[in-house]
Structure 1
Amino acid sequence: MSFTFRHSAGFGKRIEYYIIGLMLKEGLDCYVPLVDDDGIDCVIRQDNGHFIEVQIKARSNDVKMGDAALFAALEHEKRENYFFVFYSERLQKKWIMSSEEFLKECVTNKAGKNSGKRSIWFNGCKTDENGEKKEYPKDKFNKYLADDFSRFKNIN
């Protein structure tokens, strides 16, 4: 199923609710904090009574060609029971990563105004035989691609 969203400053919030809606459809018990001070967009209560925290990050169709799944300048330190859902509207893909997996795969900026912040680039870009640029998900991140949210069902 594919959706196109109107773009504005509210794009990120709309995608958060879209992703949370998909999680609810799969039967996950989701809670949305009233305040997003700690990088938590959703808390999931698992069947075993444990809770996990989820940060949802999204890139719209409007981003520069080649950046469909670039998530840059993120502040993050390792957190237990914390996960990211990265969503690319143009690629129609979702990646789910734990805090630990994100820190293993990301790049940490060494200099400049974003020194110490982290970035991850899930897509590549190549020129096809017609001279058109085409984006594609990088194979090295295939293990994090998610068609559903089953990964959240029984994390201890």
Structure 2
Amino acid sequence: MQQTPMTVRGEQLLREELNELKTVRRPKIVADIAEAREHGDLKENAEYHAAREEQGFCEGRIQEIEAKLSTVQIIDVTKMQNNGKVIFGATVTIVNVDTDEETTYRIVGDDEADIKNNLISFNSPIARGLIGKEIDDAVTIKTPNGAVEYEITEVEYI
């Protein structure tokens, strides 16, 4: 069985979403379906069909989260000794060699990835290029605009 790597925070967020779906959304959808049924003929009852569709999405997401949590491998980098190596969960600061532009990324699981918050999936080209490297290493990352060279200036396990 394929394990799903995830940070402590990522697992916590999934559990919170699962709890919200089961304790808030699911009961609301059931109530919406019951109310829509009272409106009579189900064939032309838009509220009923919308609620049933929402129920399908909700139940699908619950199953998806439960499946992920059943195969989760939680990686807590704060409990590891920082040897300067880029690993899953590490926060990495890189500098573009050509432009001196500095960027900091945290390497996380697929579900946690959010580029706007500099959280990148371990499957992304940037993360794949960084994992296994160390502070002061030069790394060439293939981007849509061509290869870009970066230097790793900091690796944190936070």
Higher normalized contact order (CA 8 Å, seq sep 6+, divided by chain length): 2
TM-score by length of 1: 0.24
Structure with higher Rg: it is 2
TM-score by length of 2: 0.24
- Structure with greater helix percent: 2
